[in-house]
Amino acid sequence: MRTLAARSVRWLRERLPLAPAADVLARKTVPMHRYSVLYYFGGMTLFFFLVQVVTGILLMLYYRPSAEEAFESVQFIMTTVPFGWLIRSLHSWSANLMVFFACVHLATVFFAKAYRRPRELSWITGCALLFLALGFGFSGYLLPWNQLAFFATKVGTDIAGSVPVVGEWLLRFLRGGERVTGGTLSRFYGWHVAILPALTVALLGLHLLLVQIQGMSVPPAAEGEAARRRPMRFFPDFALRDLFGWTLALGVLAALAALFPWELGEKADPFAPAFKDIRPEWYFMFMFETLKLVPGGEILGIEYEAIPILLFGLAGLALVLVPFLDRGGRGRGLTVAGILAVVYIVGMTARGYRSLVPVYAVLATALVTLILGLGTRRAREAGE
């Protein structure tokens, strides 16, 4: 038995020379310093992506992408298919957690200046992956074909329509016609289960490969500490910690899905008025809320509405180009810009949810976080 196993391994090794890869993995280390915890966020995002792949494939077995059947098929999944409610809730919760951790990952990489030479490509692929994740979120939101999804898609695609020059084409391209119909649903389904996954897998492969080639970046503020301390072996020490985090994440995800199953709402009706509290996914909220504040009117033939949309587009472009905007050194300017962006996004998101979460609760949370952050920093500085 043993010799057979050994021989099969040898047989495989001869035909599949993985030894160099195993070698790289065995030699890989992770720098140790006070910000080392930041290295877990990318892996966490990856974990939720894997959950999305598995649960998404399972949902495809019962989901039917047509205006007549989509809502009913999701209803069938939620009420009749064994554990269907669990699989769909896992998919919805994990989607949100994935976007959340992708944002956290992006923010930490940004503030730790980990995008600097030679990691510009890791940053650009990472940004592209975030945009893909948002595309997944936007297209997936419509699939249950409920009222909320229907109106969110109408509004979202209409926003794309107000982009100057290409807007009209873009709107038709997204909707697959003039209006949001069953045709839009088929189209979004195609994007959601075929086009976006294919792009994501390719980009994710590149992103992970780049991380393996270049290793972990050390934030400028922790360079001294990282040089003093011994790095941790990736395998098995860091991998085990990663795995522990994933197990924890799975536990939290399962608890959320089981205790707060995702609701389905009412079937989309193109001839019913939009109901109160119509809102997009939370990660689009800051843009949605900004648009609410812009009055109607036009200047030089451009509608007011198009101005913030253009600005958001430029901001997205600036985000991708961050490694080239960075002038080296301490990079104070970019840090300040990043902090302002975070404050704007959090503030606008909080404003969007003010009917659910009172503003003072948000302000109090921000204040406590700030005090804790400054306190920890001071304690660290005193300790050093």
Q: Which residues bind other proteins (CB under 8 A)?
A: 54, 58, 61, 80-84, 86-87, 247
Residue with smaller CB distance to other proteins, 86 or 155: 86
Half-sphere exposure of 156 (CA within 13 A, CB side): 27
Distance CA 140, CA 243 (A): 28
Residue with smaller CB distance to other proteins, 31 or 84: 84
Residue with smaller CB distance to other proteins, 30 or 86: 86
User: In 3D, which of 157, 151, 91, 150 has the Cα closest to residue 309?
Assistant: 157
- To other proteins, the closest distance from the beta carbon of 265 in angstroms equals 22
Half-sphere exposure of 248 (CA within 13 A, CB side): 9
Residue with smaller CB distance to other proteins, 82 or 296: 82
- To other proteins, the closest distance from the beta carbon of 58 in angstroms equals 6
Residue with smaller CB distance to other proteins, 36 or 89: 89
Helix axes 70-79, 84-111, angle to 10 degrees: 100
Q: Could you say which DSSP state residue 329 is in? A: T
Residue with smaller CB distance to other proteins, 258 or 364: 258
Phi, psi of 305 (to 5 degrees): -55, -35
**Residue 305, both tokens:** 């509405």
- To other proteins, the closest distance from the beta carbon of 114 in angstroms equals 33
- To other proteins, the closest distance from the beta carbon of 44 in angstroms equals 18
Distance CA 286, CA 284 (A): 6
- To other proteins, the closest distance from the beta carbon of 61 in angstroms equals 7
User: Is 65:189 a contact under the CB 8 Å cutoff?
Assistant: yes
Half-sphere exposure of 235 (CA within 13 A, CB side): 9
Q: Could you say which DSSP state residue 28 is in? A: -
- To other proteins, the closest distance from the beta carbon of 250 in angstroms equals 8
* Signed CA dihedral, 103, 253, 257, 51: sign only: positive
Residue with smaller CB distance to other proteins, 87 or 127: 87
Q: What residue type is 350 in one-letter code? A: A
How far is CA 319 from each of CA 3, 208, 308, rounded to the nearest angstrom? 56, 20, 16
- To other proteins, the closest distance from the beta carbon of 208 in angstroms equals 24
- To other proteins, the closest distance from the beta carbon of 101 in angstroms equals 20
Q: What residue type is 149 in one-letter code? A: A
Residue with smaller CB distance to other proteins, 8 or 80: 80
| Neighbour tally for 198: CB within 10 Å | 10
